[in-house]
Structure 1
Amino acid sequence: MNRTAFLPGYLLFFLFTSFLSAPSQDQTPKYVLVIHGGAGVISRENLEPELEKQFRDKLREALDTGKAVLSRGGTAIDAVEYTIRVMEDSPLFNAGKGAVFSHYGTNEMDASIMDGATLNAGAVAGVGDVKNPISLARKVMEKSEHVLLYGSGASEFARKQGLTIVDSSYFFTQRRWDTLQRYLAKEGKNKFGTVGCAALDQYGNLAAGTSTGGMTNKKFHRIGDSPIIGAGTYASNNSCAISCTGHGEFFIRYTVARTIAALMEYKQLSFHDAAYEIINNELVKAGGDGGMIGVDKDGNVVMMMNTSGMFRGFVKSTEEKHVTIYGDEE
């Protein structure tokens, strides 16, 4: 006997429509967060096991911080800021607390953030007394009519916004100071330590941010790609959210972040193919080292570099979580 024949018509309709609207197991993730802690000459031979563990643990902490924001219904912008703050507060990365020293023995930090829903953006450069430059970049985006503030002007704005101002001694770490001395003695090797984050939230909005201490031994108040919207950072709900790391001059010249997004928007390339074209073709031919991480509007993650390693990881609402360092890691 067909028992459903005795069910009222309205109940049959309810059961049928409920079946159609039930979420599938392979649906697009509700949210995604992807990070990097810099790309460069990173190999198992030059990274001690204990230090490697510290990097992996801190990357996981950063991912967990961003996931906590997104899982509670927080915005992509919030997730990006709070995630990057974790890495800025760690001496492991070349950003915030761990910022490298310039030729003059000072710390000159840059940061930027961008909202993919509005294309609004904020950035700061040459900052030496703000504890979390990424938070200052967000204040520039939301509380000023400008996109990029520099040096003492950026610090003055930070004070007016009530951000934490610290003495320059806060940024001193012996490891970074020793690295400067090796550079001054012409023994340094080129390494990149920028940090960044890109996120897709439950509302379908994208955001990206980047923070860095720049290059060790940099002169003449050099500014790289990290605070340049379209070069080191870009986000648009039409395509993707990206944060870059590497030799900034090349990322500026090739407007790497925006060009990847444009290839997706105008040439209909996939996120992976667009990133590969720029990172592993255009930059390689030009002699530019580095990488990028990001997420597109459909929740697809790309973490790509043309160097031997990049500190990187991602987490999704599907509970998928991954942290990797070396180029040969899946």
Structure 2
Amino acid sequence: MKTITSVATAAIISLALLAGTAEAQERAEWSLAIHGGAGVIERADLSPEQDAAYRAALSTALEAGAAVLRSGGSALDAVQAAIQLMEDDPLFNAGRGAVFTAAGANELDAAVMDGTDLNLGAVAGVTRTRHPVALARAVMEQSPHVMLIGQGADAFAVEQNLEQVDPSWFFTERRWRGLVSALEAQGLPVPERPAGAPSAEAQANLPAPPLNERKFGTVGAVALDSEGRLAAATSTGGMTAKRWGRVGDVPVIGAGTYASNIDGCAVSATGSGEYFIRATVARDICARTAGGAGLQSAADAEIAQVGELGGDGGVIALDIEGNAVFSLNTSGMYRGAVSSAAEARVAIYGDED
């Protein structure tokens, strides 16, 4: 941990990359950073087995993206590869393992952005597409639009031959129990268990972190490839017991996701989305760096603003030199980084370097 600064209601934890400070780091030919959500994540909340499960999942996703970059692949392919693994992992609030709406459904959001030409794609309220990040990329590359929602987004996915699944694919007992607890606490009715949902016994072998792990499990990745191209992508199941078709910051380009080679910056965010939208966090970090601010100070300033507004969360950010930083105002964030100049490292708690 490099610095801890108290700003208004938020304690900003700045980490100039797990592999060393941005100033001291050798210029990387390629670089990748990922996150799996930020929030109240204390050592006492995770058993040694749960801690190990998260670190293993982060390491696997990190290596998937690194393998693409190591072989000369694109930043876009790298962020998609890393995120798709996390979308399939029930540990994270994205894809399989997503939280439930108040109506008992999983509604998924994702976004991807190409920093070389500012092209982008986003989806919201997806219910049948196995990998929402792949659908977001298809919107970017195969449609004239930048955002599709709900049934229309899933219909477009079918046209693009993207894998479709029954909604029960996304169901996990852990998230269902979390919904029931949240609705009961709010005095709201609990919907019937979704049709086709597996029994609790059928998922007994899945990792089961504690239900009181209060975090934002959005997943994200930022990458720089050997051709100097930047990309960012983010995917989420949103917030537990959300209502009225709520959409957070993830698919709102400039709030939860942004990449620009012009600004020399790529960002993916995780947290209380309403506040990240209000602060236009991802775009503003890149604008600050384009104006001459250091990447770490730019990220810290935006997270400080989120805290001042009353929000929690964190960001990963990457510059054109391959330097990656993390900033958060919570006690932890699942995260990792690797580059051609530094070995892979993963971390969970805020006081880890």
How far is 1:273 from its partner?
Answer: 0.7
The structure with the largest helix share of the pair is 1
Residue in 2 that maps onto 1:129: 128
Aligned to 2:96, the other structure's residue is in SS state helix
C-alpha distance in 1 between matches for 2:168 and 2:297: 44
Q: Deviations over 1:98-130 (max 9, x none)?
A: 111000000000000000001000000000111
How far is 1:297 from its partner?
Answer: 0.6
C-alpha distance in 1 between matches for 2:43 and 2:224: 32
How far is 1:260 from its partner?
Answer: 0.6
Residue in 2 that maps onto 1:225: 249
1:37-76 to 2 correspondences below 5 Å? 37-76=36-75
Question: What is the TM-score normalised by the length of structure 2?
Answer: 0.84
Q: Computing the radius of gyration over CA atoms, which structure comes out larger, 1 or 2?
A: 1
How far is 1:27 from its partner?
Answer: 4.6
1:80-159 to 2 correspondences below 5 Å? 80-159=79-158
**Please, which of 223, 227, 231 is the counterpart of residue 203 of structure 1?**
227
How far is 1:265 from its partner?
Answer: 1.1
How far is 1:48 from its partner?
Answer: 1.6
Q: Deviations over 1:298-322 (max 9, x none)?
A: 1111111100100001001124221
Question: What is the TM-score normalised by the length of structure 1?
Answer: 0.90
C-alpha distance in 2 between matches for 1:309 and 1:209: 21
Residue in 2 that maps onto 1:288: 311
Matched length: 304
- Structure 2: runs of 5 or more not aligned: 1-23, 187-210
C-alpha distance in 2 between matches for 1:27 and 1:100: 40
**Please, which of 226, 229, 244 is the counterpart of residue 269 of structure 2?**
244
Amino acid at match of 1:104: A
User: Hey, which bits of structure 1, 4+ residues long, moved more than 6 A?
Assistant: none
Q: Deviations over 1:191-232 (max 9, x none)?
A: 210000000000011000000000000000100000110000
Identical residues among aligned pairs (%)? 54
How far is 1:286 from its partner?
Answer: 1.1
Amino acid at match of 2:118: L
Compared CA separation, residues 289 and 26, structure 1 to 2 (3 A): closer
C-alpha distance in 1 between matches for 2:182 and 2:159: 37
Amino acid at match of 2:223: A
C-alpha distance in 2 between matches for 1:231 and 1:318: 30
Q: Deviations over 1:59-117 (max 9, x none)?
A: 00011101110010000000011110010010000000111100000000000000000
Amino acid at match of 2:229: N
Q: Deviations over 1:227-285 (max 9, x none)?
A: 1100000000122110000000000011000011111112x101011111111x21121
Higher relative contact order (CA 8 A, sep 6+): 2
C-alpha distance in 2 between matches for 1:251 and 1:325: 21
Are residue 300 (structure 1) and residue 323 (structure 2) matched?
yes
C-alpha distance in 2 between matches for 1:284 and 1:236: 25
C-alpha distance in 2 between matches for 1:88 and 1:123: 16
C-alpha distance in 2 between matches for 1:237 and 1:304: 21
C-alpha distance in 2 between matches for 1:166 and 1:211: 17
Residue in 2 that maps onto 1:183: 182
Aligned to 1:121, the other structure's residue is in SS state strand
Residue in 1 that maps onto 2:280: 255
- Structure 1: runs of 5 or more not aligned: 1-24
Are residue 194 (structure 1) and residue 193 (structure 2) matched?
no
**CA RMSD in angstroms, aligned pairs only:** 1.3
Q: Deviations over 1:172-206 (max 9, x none)?
A: 11001001111012188652100000000000110
Tell me if the contact between 2:25 and 2:323 (Cα under 8 Å) persists in the aligned partners.
no
Aligned to 2:227, the other structure's residue is in SS state coil
C-alpha distance in 1 between matches for 2:267 and 2:215: 20
